[in-house]
Amino acid sequence: MALTDGLEIPKQVLDAEIKSFYDSAPPLKNRDDVSEKLEAFVKKNSQPSGNGGARRVVCVTSGGTTVPLEQRCVRYIDNFSSGHRGAASTEYFLKAGYAVIFLYRRGTCQPYCRSLPDDPLLECLEILDESNIQVHQSHSQAVRSAITKTHAAVADGLLLKLPFTTIFEYLQMLQMVAFTIRSIGPHAMLYLAAAVSDFYVPWKSMAEHKIQSGSGPLDMRLVQVPKMLLVLRKEWAPMAFCISFKLETDSKILLEKADMALWKYKMHMVVANELLSRKEEVVVVTSNEKISVRRNKSLSVDDVESPLVELLVERHSAYVENSDL
């Protein structure tokens, strides 16, 4: 019993899988820079500030990870995610007084930029003359708000943006975040909204060159990404308040899957969402509750992330108080 540690696979097998994943991953290029920024960010926000105590810190992960199929990467498998959920949640966490580490997929939706068009520079701006640039009337409020709020959050040291692309980058950076926030114990939250690949091709067994399209079909074998969530909870940052997400397209298996994730990975809460209705409703699953959270259409701020973050902050507060006893 002790060997399996609540999982279907023995702990030493999982540990070996994890070691093999990290050993084979191409090293993070800007590791020192990321590490320095993380340390400074958590240190600054964990000290009592002018108007009160230390801030809580949440790491919001957002967007999908890619799995390269070739070492000199031409083809890869991607997980679809606009990053809208993570960007919106970041705004509400900042509003609630949290400092946010925004670990996001390059090119996905950014906080405060959700209402901008795809290519805002070309679509929203007009050059009037040598010294004047004008924002189109229809986008004026959105552009001003995006720039002002983002710059303010970054300048105040409350928002740290860290981009990733591959599953290798993501899991290395997530580990660094977890190791760093361990120092603030229960005051840290991990809000794991990124769409993380379940399968990957181990770097060393990967084709070095582009896969050739000869004749006939292409058969591929991918191995499972080791279940990092359990080690994250148990070893990387055992005191952090942990929320993971479960997305399914089939509503029939969604809550069952969310329950299983809660139990298997010892999450504090799992947010269950179905692909088609995810902007209207999510169900927050805890060990003894299933709480439906819906978008409040009567309010002008009408994202489902608003009541969701409110609920999580409330539960996090209770968790912090219990830990302080």
Dist. CA 127–CA 117, nearest whole Å: 18
Binding site for a second copy (CB under 8 A): 8, 66, 69-70, 72-80, 106-107, 110, 113, 116, 118-122, 124-127, 132-135, 143-144, 146-148, 150-151, 195, 197-199, 208-211, 213, 215-224, 247-250, 275-276
The answer to whether the CB of 248 falls within 8 A of the CB of 274 is yes
Residue 39 or residue 248: which is nearer to a second copy going by CB?
A: 248
Residue 8 or residue 32: which is nearer to a second copy going by CB?
A: 8
Task: Give SS3 for 314.
Answer: helix
Using the 8-state DSSP alphabet, how is residue 69 labeled? S
Sequence-distant (6+) residues with CB within 8 A of 81 are 62, 63, 64, 105, 108, 194, 195
How far apart are CB 59 and a second copy at their closest, in Å?
Answer: 20
Six-digit token string for 101:
């580490």
Task: Give the closest residue to 61 by CA, choosing from 39, 41, 90.
Answer: 90
Using the 8-state DSSP alphabet, how is residue 236 labeled? I
Residue 223 or residue 301: which is nearer to a second copy going by CB?
A: 223
Task: Give the closest residue to 49 by CA, choosing from 199, 185, 158, 139.
Answer: 158
Six-digit token string for 95:
């509003």
Residue 132 or residue 292: which is nearer to a second copy going by CB?
A: 132
Dist. CA 212–CA 208, nearest whole Å: 12
Residue 260 or residue 291: which is nearer to a second copy going by CB?
A: 260
Residue 131 or residue 298: which is nearer to a second copy going by CB?
A: 131
